[in-house]
Amino acid sequence: MMNFYKFSRWRFGVLVILASLVGCKHPVQEVQAEQYTPTGSAVGLDIIRLGATEGEQRWLATYSDGVHNTRFDIELEPASASANAGAPDMGKGRFVSETDSDPLPLLHTLKGALQANRVPNHAQKVDALPFGYLLVGENQSRTPAGSFRPSPPGNWLVIKIFLANDQAEVYFDLNPVIHKAEFAMKDPAYGDRVLSELAKVF
Where b means 16+ CB within 10 Å and e means fewer, 155-170 reads bbbbbbbbbeeeebbb
pLDDT for 202: 96
- Could you say which residues of the chain have pLDDT below 50? 1-2, 4-8, 10-26
DSSP E strands in 21-68: the ranges are 42-53, 56-64
Cis peptide leading into 150, omega within 30 of 0? no
Q: Can you tell me the distance from the alpha carbon of 42 to that of 95, in angstroms, rounded to the nearest whole number?
A: 18
Percent over 70 (pLDDT), the chain: 81
Model pLDDT for residues 116-161, shown as the tens digit of each residue = 999 998 889 999 999 999 999 999 999 989 999 999 999 999 999 9
198 CA to centre of own chain: 17
- The whole-model pTM stands at 0.81
Compute how many other C-beta atoms are within 10 angstroms of the C-beta atom of residue 56: 15
N-term to C-term CA, the chain? 80
